């Protein structure tokens, strides 16, 4: 288990409690003034001013608040001393909301700027932090962002339709990268956060109209290895959250992210208010949540 220690006031930690408010947990230690859990990382703020990040994502979360690893050198991270397009998607595992896919071009000249913003895998960042830095990244970093709405998703994904849950992501990643390549210099490398095998990707790619010759690299958890993929994950998460907010506003129900029991309950309310048309507009119908919601609404 990784442990990182900072002091209150170091980096951006003065706003830590505010940024992690939605992740606050109870802690009975009388010397702990604030506690939170973000994904796999626990954050403890002691009355002495010491802040402890503990868990597998400790370093990434601490870096988002300005932590700098001791003895680190001002060089590009290993394997990133080149221009690189990174592609990632968000929303695939959420019942409500669409799928956002983003491809971004990052060069070594961008690294210092990105590190100063606290760019990291979006899973290690709070939604508040993502909403703060995503507009900056959108303005400064060349990228292409695509959003497949739930309504369009339901029209093209499913039995007897053009796509399945994997092939539709192949189409989105390919299109985002293709469009970006039309506007930027040829990168040294293109990395996709692996959601399927390269063989499977190439099988579905044959059905796509747009193709490019640049070789692709598929890596699991690439958003934690390459800044270009991390940038894409942040912009994509922000786009997904914006879409979820719009759908919530349109229907008058706060739509949760994910596919848990809360999604079933909200879906049953939407069914009662709007019928199946409401779910077709806001949710991915082939998820098991649809059948659970139908049972709850009876």
User: Domain coordinates of the chain in residue numbers?
Assistant: 2-65, 84-247, 255-297
Query: Tens digits of per-residue pLDDT, 121-177?
Result: 667 788 888 999 999 999 999 999 999 999 999 999 988 899 999 999 999 999 999
Q: 281, 200, 193, 259: which is closest to 232 by C-alpha?
A: 193
d(CA 202, CA 170): 9
Instruction: Give the annotated binding-site residues for a divalent metal cation.
Output: 88-89, 193
Contact 64, 39 (CB under 8 A): no
CATH class as words, domain 2-65: alpha beta
Select the CATH number that applies to the domain covering 84-247 from these four: 3.40.109.10, 3.30.420.10, 3.40.630.30, 3.40.1410.10: 3.30.420.10
pLDDT band at 69 (very low <50, low <70, confident <90, very high): low
- Binding site residues, as ranges? 88-89, 193
On the question of pLDDT at 219 being above 80, the answer is yes
Percent of the chain with pLDDT over 70: 95
Q: What is the pLDDT of residues 17-44, one digit of tens each?
A: 888 888 999 999 989 999 999 888 899 9
Cβ neighbours of residue 106 closer than 8 Å, sequence gap 6 or more: 80, 83, 84, 85, 86, 114, 141, 226, 227, 228, 231
Strand-pair category, 99-106 with 143-148: antiparallel
Q: What is the pLDDT of residue 121?
A: 64
| pTM for the whole structure | 0.75
């Amino acid at each position: 288990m990784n442990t990182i220690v900072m002091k209150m006031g170091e980096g951006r930690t003065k706003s830590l409690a505010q940024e992690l408010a939605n992740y606050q947990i109870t802690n009975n230690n009388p010397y702990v003034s604030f506690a939170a859990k973000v994904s796999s990382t626990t954050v403890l703020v002691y009355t002495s001013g010491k802040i402890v990040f503990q868990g597998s994502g400790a370093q990434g979360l601490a870096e988002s608040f300005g932590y700098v690893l001791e003895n680190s050198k001002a060089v590009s991270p290993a394997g990133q001393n080149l221009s690189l397009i990174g592609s990632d998607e968000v929303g695939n595992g959420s019942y409500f909301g669409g799928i956002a896919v983003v491809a971004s071009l990052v060069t070594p000249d961008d690294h210092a700027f990105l590190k100063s913003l606290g760019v990291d895998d979006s899973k290690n960042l709070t939604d508040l932090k993502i909403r703060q830095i995503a507009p900056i990244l959108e303005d400064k970093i060349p990228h292409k962002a695509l959003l497949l709405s739930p309504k369009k998703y339901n029209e093209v994904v499913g039995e007897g339709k053009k796509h399945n849950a994997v092939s539709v992501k192949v189409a989105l990643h390919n299109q985002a990268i293709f469009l970006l390549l039309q506007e930027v210099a040829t990168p040294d490398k293109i990395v996709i956060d692996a959601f399927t095998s390269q063989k499977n990707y190439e099988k579905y790619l044959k059905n796509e109209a747009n193709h490019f010759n640049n070789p692709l690299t598929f890596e699991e958890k690439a958003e934690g290895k390459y800044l270009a993929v991390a940038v894409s994950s942040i912009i994509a998460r922000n786009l997904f959250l914006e879409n979820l907010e719009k759908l919530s506003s349109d229907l008058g129900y706060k739509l949760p992210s994910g596919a848990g029991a809360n999604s079933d309950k909200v879906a049953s309310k939407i069914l009662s208010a709007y019928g199946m048309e409401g779910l077709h507009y806001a949710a991915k119908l082939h998820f098991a949540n649809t059948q659970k919601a139908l049972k709850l609404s009876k």
